Amino acid sequence: MDRRSFVRLGMVSGAASVIAPAPAWAGSSGSPLSSNLAGGVFYTKEAPGRWGKKVGGHLPKIKKEVDPGGKVKISVSTAHPMSGYQHYIVKHVLLDKDFRFVAEKMFDPTKDKTPVSSFTLDKYSGPLYALSVCNKHDTWIAVIEV
């Protein structure tokens, strides 16, 4: 391949990734959580990867409540023991529909007996991703529609 063809191919590939980036995330359903990254970089109930037996203690559980003023209260819990610094949930993180940071809560395993966090959101609607990060079993993601 000559230099001119190589440059042309590179430009076409770059333009295609800008115009149609969805295939980079798309799995069978097109959801980011069904991507090729699930089960390898992060874990979900459907794609637990090498941690197949760890779903119950690592997948975050999300609850939604709406107060009378219209604010959305989100609580995230992980059914995981806090065994000092040997094995614990490091933090919970909330991401919006575009995977932008919304909020997080860090845990201190010497003080926090259970990994539970609460967040209040103003005027948000759409999918909300909750991440639970374990110091031994990586990052787990669940989603709720707000």
13 backbone dihedrals φ, ψ, rounded to 5°? -65, -45
CA distance 87 to 112: 13
Tens digits of residue pLDDT in 33-53? 666 677 778 899 999 999 989
CA–CA gap between residue 140 and residue 79 (Å, rounded): 12
* Whether 12 and 58 share a structural domain: no
Cα 61 to Cα 8, 27, 52, 102, 133, distances in angstroms: 48, 23, 17, 17, 13
pLDDT tens for 11-23 read: 444 433 333 333 3
Same domain (yes/no): 59, 2: no
**Same-domain check for residues 22 and 56:** no
The answer to whether 35 and 27 are in contact (CB under 8 A) is: yes
Same domain (yes/no): 4, 38: no
* 2 and 56 together in one domain: no
Domain count, the chain: 2
| pLDDT value at 112 more than 50 | yes
